Structure formats: structure tokens, C-alpha cells
Amino acid sequence: MESAPNTNPVPQMLHVESNGTIPNSNHLFSLRSSLSSVKVPNWNGDLNLRSGKKMGLQSKENPKIVHGEVGYVLEDVPHLTDYVPDLPSYPNPLQDNPAYAVVKQYFVNLDDTVAQKIVVHKTSPRGTHFRRAGPRQRVYFESDEVHACIVTCGGLCPGLNTVIREIVCGLFHMYGVTKILGIEGGYRGFYARNTITMTPKTVNDIHKRGGTILGTSRGGHDTSKIVDSIQDRGINQVYIIGGDGTQKGASVIFEEIQRRGLKVAVAGVPKTIDNDIAVIDKSFGFDTAVEEAERAINAAHVEAESVENGIGLVKLMGRYSGFIAMYATLASRDVDCCLIPESPFYLEGKGGLFEFIEKRLKENGHMVLVVAEGAGQELIAESMRSMDHEDASGNKLLLDVGLWLSQKIKDHFARSKKVAINLKYIDPTYMIRAIPGNASDNVYCTLLAHSVIHGAMAGYTGFTVGPVNGRHAYIPFHRITETRNKVVITDRMWARLLSSTNQPSFLSHKDVEDAKTEGEPVTQLLDGENCKDGHHVVDNGLADNGTR
């Protein structure tokens, strides 16, 4: 087979027949022997989609998908040239940047892609890939024409200021961009608040502070007003930092910009302290959150072991996914029981939580209990009148499971009169959210910022960025908002936790079988440890490798 020529890095128009097919499509790919390297043209025009329709306006219902041999699938991201005709390109200024003179290879190969799953059978399809992040030889913005803006939405998270700083400094130092605005107060700041002029000097030391210097909010998403503001201000690069709700909003903004035919790149940096963003290996701020959560657990352990029949109860973040609770428990080794949303538990009767607490107090004289905020909600639904209420971001308002569980434990032991307990309840939620990122997260935030800048400058739009199996990639918005990562309770990582704490699983045989059924692979690719799809998360131990 002949490989598609790649002499010109500018995306080329592809002829499509009237029936929506690509002539001689079997000659479009030259599959290399390595799984990590594929020759895939960077399409600018219509292409043959899975649905058989031509590429028009790109959205969740009309994704940009390229198929290759041996089951290779590229879930590509939109490019400005897909809907802005005759867009000129320019040499990347990085090639003249003295800081990059030491780099052996300035630019990533135009056709490099990253595999979503890296553990495969030798005869299985190659599966889904994403476009590799990094600087390209050609860019679609001249430095002096760029007018960028940055906005942060949703809850706080360690590392937010680091991402802001590195986007500003990266644009300035790598690409010579001088016009950068900070949008205050989240999405509504586009049309209801002031903006901040940002330079490397103004953001020099913000990474040492928690929170976000731009301020944040939930809700306030008015697409027309936001895009009108972008158009009126002459903004042509929009960097949006936030969780899945924020990224859904970014996707809608991109679609409206695309409909209007504006040369505006919309790029997202995913943020969730719960580490439940799909596709990517890990969210920024997660390492910091686990580290700070471990300090709270240590305090609970000191309190519990210092008194007779002491119980230390710590509530950690995790509305839908218990990653912080699980990893902090494994890091601490002082926890006797960890409760997460993915693993049901019950209080009364044989094998229940109360029986386990009694047993552990009898054995050790004290115990430490960690509970994620979303755990046990079905047990308290009766008393929760606001079960169907939501905050401005669309998240369910949850009852405080920590306070509820504390009272239940106290009531149980008061009724049984077997043991007099001393219970200490610790909720470090806002202490964890408000601290600056640690060293690991600061490095990670820098890589995220640089990757998103390279993508926007290269003309990609409608994407978010993040590491997939250790390599940064550009991911369509809908792929990270259509589902959440959750702890797989039939996977080895949860088994390691149960082994560490020696707690019961609280699961019946039916629960285990149901969990296995939900986790059955839907392709021939291997699932479980070191593999991931919408329901299976990478076993990304903190040593191997993050907000609402």
C-alpha cells in the first residue's frame, strides 16, 4: 500500500463522492509496525463518517471520525479549516525560539495519534485513538493577531492558578502573544463582569496561592451573549477551565462559533478534584487532594487512638466517584473502613457496618472510618426532601452523609449500651479545595497549559486536552462529558483497598455479579487494569503516574 503524502502540513481537502464515500479510501493509510505511529491525513473537508454522512457542522451527533485498517479508529477534533475557507497558515514561531533550540525535535508528527487502550490481544482491533497534542510545524494564527481569553468555572481545585499562569506565560514566551484577557466570575463574566489584562508579570506568583485569581461561579451560561461578547471584543482564542458541566458549555459555545463561521479556537482544560473525568488518565489537583486528605485521616487516627473506643470519621469529596477516598485510604494505611458511592453498604444486621465497628473496637480499641460525600445516599433518601434538587451546575444536592452517619453510629451504640464511644467527625472539604497545587500537580498543570496552547495555535478547536495512557492528546468535548469515570469495585484496585483495611465488601453475591455484568467489555480490547473505557478506569497508582 502507498502512504498518503505528507509534504504539506496544511490540512488538505478530500474529495467525497455523491453517496458520501471516499474513493480509494483503502489507500489513505500506511499502517506502521508500531502501534504508536499511524499515517492519518489531517482532514479539512468532508470525510466518510461512521454514519455515512458527510462532515458538516461538527457536534456530538456529527463527530469527526476516521477509520483505518486493522480496526483503527481516529476520533479527531475539529479544525478551523473545516468551516473557515481558504485559511492561511504560518511557520510556527517556536522554531526561532532560543529556549527550544536544545530540543531535538521541535514538532510532533502531524499524523501521530494516541491509543485509548494500550493492553490488547494480538488479534484484536487496534481500537480508538486520539490526535496527539504538541506543537505543529504550521500555525493558523500570527502572534500579533491573537487575542486570547481565559475563564474558570465551577468549584475550586488545587492547581487552577497554575494553569492560568502557564497559559499566559506559554502564549507570551512561546508564541509572542501579548493580548490576553482574564474573564472574571465564570461564564457570566463574558457579559456581566469586568475583564483583567493578563501578562507574565501579573501572574508571576499566582501558582503559590489557592483558588483562582479570576474568580468562578456556577451557571450563568447564555450562549448567545457569550459568543456576542467574544465577537465584539475580537477574541479569537478561548481557553475554558472547568469540570464536565463547564466543558458541555464550552462545546455549545464552539458549536455557535462554528455556526457563525468565526475564526475562533475554543479549547478546554478539564477540571475535577474527584478525578472522574472520562478518557483522561488523571485530573489536575487530584494528587494534591489525596495528599491533603491523608493529613485529615492522620488527624482522625490520632484523635481516635488517644481515647477509649475512639472513632475518627472523615468525610472526603466524591459526589459520584470515590477515587479520593480510595487513594487516601491506601496512602494512609490507618483506615479501618472506606465507604464510596460505587460500593453499597448497609448498617444493621449481620455483616453490616455497625457489626464491623463493634468488632474493630473490640480488637483495636479504636477505628478510623472514611466516607465519600456521595456514599450511602440511598440510605438517607427517605429523610432527604431535596433529592431531586440541583445546584446551578446541574449537580444533585446531597445530604451531608458524614453528619448523618455520625449520628447513626452514636444512636446505635447509645441503644445497644454495649460500648461507650468517643466519635470525632472531620470534614476537610474546603481546606482541600482551597490549597495550591503540590509539586506533582504544578508540573502536570504546566504540561496541560502548553498542550492546549499548541492545539489552539495549530488551528484545532472544539477540544479538551489531557493525558491518555501517559501521552497528551486532543479529545472531542463530547467524549469527556458523556460519562464519568468511577471506581470499578470488581477491579484489582478496590481489592487492594479491601485487603489493606480488612473491611467487609458489604456486597451480596448478586451485587458482585451485577457489577461484573456492568463491567463486561464491549469490544475485543482488554478491560480492567491499565485499560479504560467509559466504565473502566486506568489503575493509575500515584506512584505510577485529578475538580468540581
CA distances from 136 to 44, 126, 277, 446 (A): 16, 25, 27, 18
Please give the Cα distance from 135 to 456 (Å, whole number): 10
CB atoms within 10 A of CB 521: 14
- 209 annotated binding-site participant: no
Range 305-309, long-range pairs (CB < 8 A, 24+ positions): 305/365, 305/366, 307/366, 307/422, 308/365, 308/420, 308/422, 309/361, 309/365, 309/366, 309/419, 309/420, 309/421, 309/422
Q: Are 320 and 341 in contact (CB under 8 A)?
A: yes
Handedness of CA 487, 121, 108, 111 (dihedral sign): negative
- 479 annotated binding-site participant: no
- 155 annotated binding-site participant: yes
- 541 annotated binding-site participant: no
> What is the rounded (10 degree) CA torsion for 480, 484, 489, 494?
60
- 435 annotated binding-site participant: no
Give the three-state DSSP class for 252: helix
- 272 annotated binding-site participant: yes
Query: Considering only CA atoms, which of 27, 134, 85, 81 is closest in space to residue 447?
Result: 134
Number of residues that make up the chain: 548
Q: Are 328 and 370 in contact (CB under 8 A)?
A: yes
Strands 195-197 and 138-139: unpaired
- 433 annotated binding-site participant: yes
- 218 annotated binding-site participant: yes
Residue 152, phi then psi, degrees to nearest 5: -120, 135
What are the helix (H) ranges across 417-438?
Answer: 429-433
- 317 annotated binding-site participant: yes
- 245 annotated binding-site participant: yes
Give the three-state DSSP class for 339: strand
Query: Which residues are designated catalytic?
Result: 274
Please give the Cα distance from 159 to 164 (Å, whole number): 9
- 430 annotated binding-site participant: yes
Please give the Cα distance from 331 to 322 (Å, whole number): 14
Q: Which residues are annotated as a binding site for substrate?
A: 272-274, 317-319, 373, 430-433
Q: Which residues are annotated as a binding site for ATP?
A: 155, 218-219, 243-246
Q: Which residues are annotated as a binding site?
A: 155, 218-219, 243-246, 272-274, 317-319, 373, 430-433
